[in-house]
Amino acid sequence: MMNGHCSNWVTGMSSKSAALTDQAFILHSRPYRNTSLLLEVFSAQHGRLSLLAKGARTPKSPLYAVLQPFHSLFMSWGGRGELLVLYKAEALAVPQELSGEQLFNGFYLNELLVRLLHKHDAHPGLFQLYAETLQQLTRDTPHDVTLRYFEIQLLEELGYGLNLTLDVSTQQPVSVPQTYHYRVEQGPVPAVTTQTNLLTLSGGTLLALANRQLHDLQQRQEAKRLMRVVLDHHLGNKPLKTRELYQPVR
């Protein structure tokens, strides 16, 4: 199916610069001039891209109803420089519709990808995970668990994988009943009561997160605190907008 799309679309681009084609999701869009959009796109084989969608805000444009977040799209683009031009886009499947808390969580995933992914770095495994996570958000699985697993794998894909199973002070495996402090750049160390400024969590939480088996409510709460500290470390001083918007709604 993908090859068929590619051959048809590329031959239709003879009057334009050579086109690239790929499956993609829109992570963010904003108005540009009177009728266009600036898009941040996550594609399967080309990574994160910035695309200019000319005239996409006019109702007569074939792109008008298509360029929506969380929709699996097949896109064609080209041009030179940092900002490329979107040629065509069409839906690959029935659009994934999110609402309420699902919608906030979807925008949270999108903002993480915009903030942490470098442009033009392909992450096909992460792309597949993102698509699967959007589907998970529409199911009965607790959303916080779904988000934790996505965050963990996102960091692994970017080379920031966490040590969740080895006590860095003793080089021994993490013990379930032991309480640990977590050092972001290193990993867990046995908790010392005088170090009240450090994140504290149980060995059981660390192992449950490592094994993707977060079931206990306390473990889920501890895992959320851990991942917030770790992500803030990599995001720097600029907070996530989706967190700021979500707190008043909750």
| Separation CA 250–CA 247 (nearest Å) | 5
Residue bearing tokens 């679309």? 9
Per-residue pLDDT of the chain (250 residues; tens, 9 = 90+): 344 444 334 333 434 557 899 999 999 999 999 999 999 999 999 999 999 999 999 999 999 999 999 999 999 999 987 789 999 999 998 777 899 999 999 999 999 999 999 999 999 999 999 999 999 999 988 999 999 999 999 999 999 999 999 999 999 999 999 999 999 989 999 997 666 677 899 999 999 999 999 999 999 999 999 999 999 999 998 889 998 776 555 4
Give me the pLDDT at residue 216, please. Answer: 93
Contacts of 193 (CB under 8 A, 6+ apart): none
Q: What is the DSSP string of 151-197?
A: HHHHHHHTT-----SEETTTTEEPPTT-EEEEETTTEEEE--TT-TT
Tokens representing residue 93 in the block: 């499947």
What the chain holds in terms of domains, given with CATH numbers, is: 2-91 (2.40.50.140), 101-249 (1.20.1440.120)
pLDDT in the model for residue 76 = 96
pLDDT score, position 53: 97
CA distance 1 to 89: 15
pLDDT at position 4, please? 44
55 φ, ψ (degrees, to nearest 5) = 70, 10
Q: How many Å apart are CA 102 and CA 149, to the nearest integer?
A: 16
